[in-house]
């Protein structure tokens, strides 16, 4: 990799003798933002935030769009938004917007918005900068974990103000002019919080207020003539005595615990530091995270795509804990509404990230992964159930209880830092004990335990849920074995074979099965929905990552299985809307790609091309993975083939680009693929380096003539986690044909 502008920069978190390059220069936070309800190129937001930070900031161009509040083609800005939204399908909470303004007071989003030049707006992970043409005002922001420093430059020094606008729910505002401070809270949320939820905030200004030009406005955007109040969507307009330079500094602190904690966070994370000092710290933190992987290539666009995906995997799950006066980790529990000890992480769906993101953390960020697992163990203690989809509390989206896979994968890889016995207790609970609340645990568990599957005539998405339960049982078995609980191991390994009950040999697919044992009627593999989640039989029949040899046996052997996968990739990308009753965006995205029924736009298809490698046909994996990366991924606004979903799709690209893939989380190994880069160096937390070297690599040379591990010929289809964390060189000798002879 070439040095950016020939310049080395010393990172604050690196040893003095170390250097790092400008990885941030390759990141495009706008990747995947050109999306809407009907078609997703990522459904991402261009977030300015610290890695895994609690507070994130995003330009808001369209409040009327609801949870789709930013689009890169819009040219009007309604403000910079403090957001905690993990997905437009989930919604936001604790959100508000900030907008500097000059001239007449205008408060509603449409009336106050200002045009800006999209090509001049700078959105980086560590820095946001925009010039508001209407107000001739520049707005800059740089983040800390829970706070932000804001710099406003007014070209005109009269009628200068900052508008603070909570977006939903009850809010409270208090002016403290003697301290140049605004404090308050917002209870705005979509769902998933106790009754006493609030996001507390404090804004500290470096200039006096013009109190006669300041006040509180209501949810109808009418000034109330007061400086303290509580009500629905109350906001503040703050008249500012700007200096001759026009530069005004504002520091924002946030907390989910209390107003006092928000001020403590502000003083601890920013204090008296300058905007530049905070910016440098944010830059150094991002460079350190991104630099865990050094990719070398002459293809600048591949590097931009890769590091944009690295940025994506470092946004979620979101930190949800804070530090008290004694510097102890504490958090407001989104489960019971109390202040609890220990770490917490939220805004993440286990169904999405168990496949790619968490296995990647086990290599890049194992200490962080251990803390995340401890947080979710605490979630079990605070709520009585392990999480499925958190934002910030349980939202219960998507099938299964895939924390089974996340937990087992961490345990079998030796990740430390969490209470494995308590976590295991939580896994047993949702695997063995029905919940009276269908949001918690496994839906329909009684019938699953009775029949070995969820009956199609009793439950929606019966096949998808059953297969996820079965895989979850396998993962619990792996954890039981590691903990020496052999009776549980045998019991759950028996349950892990239940997938066979849903395979119908007469059609060659998984199929919904009724409570009386009969198959669902009118089966059509092109029909989406009914027993399947966000797909049909073509997409959902391969969700047996723990036993591909067994699945192959149902299909007539591994050769027949390979032929079925060939057929899947060659089929026309057509679909029937089925029980959805309309064309959902995942259907549209699959139909727009030239990959047959391989719907890379959605997580259930992520692993499909890697099954070839597991069945001993690595060349087919290499062909389809490289084709997918080349045709459907880029760093651009339309650069992702479907919902990115909290780093899960970004992690798929990272795995594919380095040449391996976690085909079966819970089994500590990675199947081989086709490296995209000439060389990749991964700096491990234990001080070792893992290097993937691809000799003769090129866009045409996607196949491996031979593979060596630590200098010896490697003839296996996978590499173990234990081998990787010891460090070493994995060498692929690449060529352009499928026949090495």
740 confidence band (pLDDT: 50, 70, 90)? low
How much is the pTM?
0.96
Q: Which residues on adjacent β-strands are paired with residue 413?
A: none
2 confidence band (pLDDT: 50, 70, 90)? very low
Q: Calculate mean pLDDT across residues 118-130.
A: 96
Q: Does 6 or 656 have the greater pLDDT score? A: 656
Q: Calculate mean pLDDT across residues 93-121.
A: 97
For residue 737, what pLDDT is reported? Answer: 83
Both tokens assigned to 353: 């990230």
Of 16-20, 427-431, 699-703, give the lowest mean pLDDT range: 16-20
Q: Calculate mean pLDDT across residues 602-607.
A: 97
Q: How many C-beta neighbours within 10 Å does residue 12 have?
A: 12
- The pLDDT tens digits for 548-584 are 999 999 999 999 999 999 999 999 999 999 999 999 9
Contact 604, 565 (CB under 8 A): no
Chain length of the chain = 741
Q: How far apart are CA 581 and CA 21, in angstroms?
A: 51
Whether the predicted pLDDT of 4 surpasses 60: no
- The pLDDT tens digits for 436-481 are 998 999 999 999 999 999 999 999 999 999 999 999 999 999 999 9
Q: 60: helix, coil or strand?
A: strand
Nearest residue to 646 (alpha-carbon basis) of 381, 232, 352: 352
Counting residues of the chain whose pLDDT is more than 90, the rounded percentage is 95
Both tokens assigned to 540: 């959902």
Q: How far apart are CA 349 and CA 645, in angstroms?
A: 8
Would you give the DSSP letter of residue 73?
T
Q: Calculate mean pLDDT across residues 612-639.
A: 98
- The pLDDT tens digits for 221-276 are 999 999 999 999 999 999 999 999 999 999 999 999 999 999 999 999 999 999 99
Q: How far apart are CA 594 and CA 550, in angstroms?
A: 30
Nearest residue to 30 (alpha-carbon basis) of 13, 42, 39, 20: 42
Q: How far apart are CA 462 and CA 449, in angstroms?
A: 14
Considering only CA atoms, give the Rg of the chain.
26
704 confidence band (pLDDT: 50, 70, 90)? very high
- The pLDDT tens digits for 170-219 are 999 999 999 999 999 999 999 999 999 999 999 999 999 999 999 999 99
For residue 16, what pLDDT is reported? Answer: 34
For residue 739, what pLDDT is reported? Answer: 58
Whether the predicted pLDDT of 6 surpasses 60: no
For residue 738, what pLDDT is reported? Answer: 66
515-518 LR contacts (CB < 8 Å, sep 24+)? 515/447, 515/451, 515/455, 515/457, 515/458
For residue 723, what pLDDT is reported? Answer: 96
Both tokens assigned to 410: 């961490």
Sign of the alpha-carbon torsion through 222, 226, 232, 233: positive
Q: How far apart are CA 267 and CA 281, in angstroms?
A: 16
For residue 21, what pLDDT is reported? Answer: 53
Query: Between the CA of residue 722 and those of 2, 6, 146, 669, 727, what are the distances in Å?
Result: 32, 38, 36, 8, 9
Average pLDDT, the chain: 95
- The pLDDT tens digits for 512-538 are 999 999 999 999 999 999 999 999 999
Whether the predicted pLDDT of 702 surpasses 80: yes
Residue 119's contacts (CB-CB under 8 Å, 6 or more residues apart) are none
For residue 490, what pLDDT is reported? Answer: 98
- The pLDDT tens digits for 281-326 are 999 999 999 999 999 999 999 999 999 999 999 999 999 999 999 9
Q: How far apart are CA 308 and CA 325, in angstroms?
A: 36
Sheet of 660-661: strands edge to edge?
A: 660-661, 669-672, 718-720
Cis peptide before 414 (omega within 30 of 0): no
Contact 507, 526 (CB under 8 A): no
Q: How far apart are CA 335 and CA 622, in angstroms?
A: 44
Whether the predicted pLDDT of 423 surpasses 80: yes
Query: Between the CA of residue 177 and those of 180, 181, 214, 253, 254, what are the distances in Å?
Result: 5, 6, 10, 17, 19
For residue 471, what pLDDT is reported? Answer: 98
For residue 65, what pLDDT is reported? Answer: 79
- The pLDDT tens digits for 483-502 are 999 999 999 999 999 999 99
Would you give the DSSP letter of residue 520?
P
For residue 63, what pLDDT is reported? Answer: 86
């Amino acid at each position: 990799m070439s040095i950016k502008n020939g310049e080395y920069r010393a990172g604050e978190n690196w040893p003095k003798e170390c250097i790092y390059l400008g990885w941030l220069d390759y990141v495009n936070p706008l990747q995947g933002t050109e999306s809407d309800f009907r078609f997703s190129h990522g459904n991402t937001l261009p977030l300015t935030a610290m890695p895994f930070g609690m507070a994130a900031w995003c330009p808001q161009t369209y409040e009327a769009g609801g949870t789709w509040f930013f689009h890169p083609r819009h040219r009007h800005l309604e403000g910079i938004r403090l957001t905690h939204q993990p997905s437009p399908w989930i919604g936001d909470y604790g959100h508000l917007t900030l907008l500097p303004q000059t001239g007449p007071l205008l408060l509603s989003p449409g009336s106050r918005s200002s045009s800006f030049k999209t090509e001049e707006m700078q959105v980086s992970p560590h820095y946001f900068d925009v010039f508001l043409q209407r107000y001739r005002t520049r707005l800059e922001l740089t983040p800390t974990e829970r706070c932000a420093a804001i710099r406003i430059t007014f070209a005109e020094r009269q009628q200068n103000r900052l508008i603070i606008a909570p977006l939903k729910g009850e809010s409270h505002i208090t002016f403290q002019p003697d301290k140049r401070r605004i404090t308050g809270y917002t209870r705005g949320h979509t769902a998933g919080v106790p009754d006493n939820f609030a996001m507390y905030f404090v804004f500290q200004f470096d200039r006096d207020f013009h109190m006669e030009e300041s006040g509180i406005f209501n949810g109808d955007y009418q000034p109330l003539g007061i400086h303290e109040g509580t009500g629905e969507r109350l906001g503040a307009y703050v008249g500012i005595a700007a200096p001759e330079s026009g530069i005004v500094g504002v520091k924002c602190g946030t907390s989910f615990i209390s107003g006092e904690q928000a001020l403590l966070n502000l003083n601890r994370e920013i204090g008296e530091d300058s905007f530049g000092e905070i910016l440098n710290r944010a830059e150094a933190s991002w460079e350190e995270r991104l630099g865990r992987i050094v990719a070398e290539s002459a293809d600048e666009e591949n590097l931009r795509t890769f590091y944009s995906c690295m940025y994506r995997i470092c946004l979620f799950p979101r930190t949800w804990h804070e530090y008290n006066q004694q510097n102890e980790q504490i958090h407001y529990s989104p489960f019971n509404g109390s202040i609890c000890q220990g770490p917490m992480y939220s805004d993440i769906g286990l169904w999405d990230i168990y496949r790619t993101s968490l296995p990647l953390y086990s290599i890049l960020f194992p200490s962080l992964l251990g803390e995340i697992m401890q947080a979710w163990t605490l979630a079990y203690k605070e709520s009585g159930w392990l999480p499925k989809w958190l934002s910030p509390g349980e939202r219960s989206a998507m099938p299964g209880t895939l924390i089974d896979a996340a937990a087992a994968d961490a345990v079998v890889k030796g990740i430390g830092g969490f209470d494995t016995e308590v976590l295991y207790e939580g896994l047993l609970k949702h695997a063995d004990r029905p919940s009276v609340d269908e949001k918690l645990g496994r839906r329909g568990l009684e019938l699953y335990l009775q029949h070995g599957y969820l009956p199609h005539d009793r439950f929606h998405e019966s096949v998808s849920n059953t297969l996820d339960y079965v895989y979850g049982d396998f993962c619990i078995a792996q954890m039981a074995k590691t903990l020496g609980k052999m009776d549980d191991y045998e019991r759950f390994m028996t349950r892990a074979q239940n997938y066979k009950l849903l395979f119908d040999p007469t059609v060659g697919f998984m199929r919904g099965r009724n409570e009386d044992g009969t198959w669902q009627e009118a089966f059509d593999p092109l029909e989406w929905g009914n027993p399947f989640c966000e797909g049909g039989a073509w997409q959902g029949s391969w969700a047996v990552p723990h036993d591909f040899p067994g699945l192959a046996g149902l299909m007539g052997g591994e050769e027949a299985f390979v032929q079925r996968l060939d057929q899947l990739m060659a089929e026309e990308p057509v679909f029937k809307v089925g029980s959805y009753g309309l064309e959902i965006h995942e259907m549209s995205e699959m139909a727009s790609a030239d990959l047959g029924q391989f719907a890379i736009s959605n997580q259930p298809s992520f692993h499909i091309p890697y099954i070839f490698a597991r069945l001993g046909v690595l060349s087919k994996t290499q062909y389809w993975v490289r084709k997918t990366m080349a045709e459907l991924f880029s760093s651009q606004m339309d650069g992702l083939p479907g919902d990115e979903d909290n780093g899960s799709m970004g992690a798929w690209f990272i795995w594919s680009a380095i040449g391996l893939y976690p085909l079966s989380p819970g089994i500590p190994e990675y199947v081989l693929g086709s490296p995209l880069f000439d060389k990749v160096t991964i700096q491990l937390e234990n001080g070792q380096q893992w290097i993937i070297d691809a000799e003769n690599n090129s866009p045409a040379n996607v196949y491996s003539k031979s593979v060596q591990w630590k200098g010896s010929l490697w003839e296996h289809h996978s590499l173990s986690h234990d081998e990787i964390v010891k460090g070493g060189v994995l060498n692929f000798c690449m060529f352009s044909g499928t026949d090495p002879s």
